[in-house]
């Protein structure tokens, strides 16, 4: 059960990568942090590293509605509301493909996780988000999803983040009357399993804007793409 004072955040795909710094940033702001991981064991290892009584783990595979529903039902009994949902989980499986060679199955797989996963998680967790005062949904997007970032390469990932940006605008519109803001974040090129070791940004830099959006007193803008705490063009 979350107390009246302690805000609660769920971070999907949170057993490695940028999520670790998001979780740390939210813990520093006294949030109760729920790590969503498709492997419970990996999630528990990640939670142990965070070493805080305010961290817990839920099993969630955002590619599967049954799994998202199961995670919701498990948390619905434990928390009164969800103040922040960070749709962070994502895949980057395009190595060796361009827009002329990618097959349908890979396009479907990537959009299913990166776009539809964020939409479905938001839909399914809405009853808990609605119970919070001015809940926030933060979608992890990418510069690859910006119109100016599109090229022939990285095809399924680019399309998945382009459509995630579209979903951000649409969800923001749908949830405005409920005082729930929905924003997308481009973390830049971050040194993680996905970004690789040559990436110039740390996971803390990749987490900064999301933590800021989650913790500032009020978020005036919704349906925007953010980078380095500023609005960027879609
Ligand atoms: N790193 C960058 O340079 C960069 C740049 C722009 C945007 N981003 C975005 O930032 C977010 C985090 O990236 P990252 O660099 O931290 O990536 P990462 O290190 O590859 O971590 C991705 C996370 O997503 C999880 N995941 C994948 N598919 C999932 C599913 N179906 N259900 C639940 N979890 C799933 C992974 O869990 P498993 O261990 O189970 O696979 C992992 O915890 C992603 O959305 C990414 O697209 C990253």
8-232 maps to CATH 3.40.50.1000 = no
Q: Greater confidence, 115 or 20?
A: 115
Which pLDDT tens digit goes with each residue over 88-111? 999 999 999 999 999 999 999 999
Average pLDDT value over all residues in the chain: 95
pLDDT at site 111: 98
> Residue 179: helix, strand or coil by DSSP?
coil
Structure tokens at 168: 């951000």
**Burial state string for 50-62 with b = 16 or more CB within 10 A and e = fewer than 16:** eeeebbbbbbbbb
Q: What percent of the chain has pLDDT over 90?
A: 91
Distance 15 CA to ligand 1 centre (A): 9
> Is the distance from the beta carbon of residue 86 to the nearest atom of ligand 1 less than 6 Å?
no
> Is the distance from the beta carbon of residue 171 to the nearest atom of ligand 1 less than 6 Å?
no
Domain boundaries along the sequence of the chain: 8-232
- Quickly state the pLDDT bin for 3 (edges 50, 70, 90): low
Which pLDDT tens digit goes with each residue over 116-157? 999 999 999 999 999 999 999 999 999 999 999 899 999 999
């Amino acid at each position: 059960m979350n107390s009246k004072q302690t805000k609660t955040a769920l971070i999907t795909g949170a057993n490695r990568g940028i999520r670790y710094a998001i979780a740390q940033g939210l813990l520093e702001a006294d949030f109760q942090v729920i790590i969503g991981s498709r492997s419970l064991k990996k999630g528990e290892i990640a939670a142990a590293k965070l070493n805080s009584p305010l961290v817990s783990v839920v099993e969630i595979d955002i590619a599967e509605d049954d799994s998202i529903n199961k995670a919701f039902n498990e948390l619905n009994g434990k928390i009164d509301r969800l103040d922040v949902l960070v749709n962070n989980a994502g895949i980057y499986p395009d190595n060796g493909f361009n827009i002329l060679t990618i097959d349908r199955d890979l396009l479907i797989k990537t959009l299913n996780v990166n776009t539809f996963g964020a939409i479905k998680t938001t839909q399914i967790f809405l009853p808990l988000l609605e119970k919070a005062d001015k809940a926030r949904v933060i979608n992890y997007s990418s510069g690859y999803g910006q119109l100016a970032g599109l090229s022939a390469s990285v095809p399924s990932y680019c399309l998945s983040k382009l459509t995630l940006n579209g979903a951000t605008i649409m969800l923001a519109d749908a949830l405005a009357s409920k005082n729930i803001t929905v924003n997308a974040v481009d973390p830049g090129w971050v040194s993680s399993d996905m970004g690789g070791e040559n990436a110039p940004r740390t996971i803390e830099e990749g987490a900064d804007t999301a933590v800021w959006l989650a913790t500032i007193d009020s978020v005036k803008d919704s349906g925007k793409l953010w980078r380095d705490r500023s609005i960027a063009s879609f």
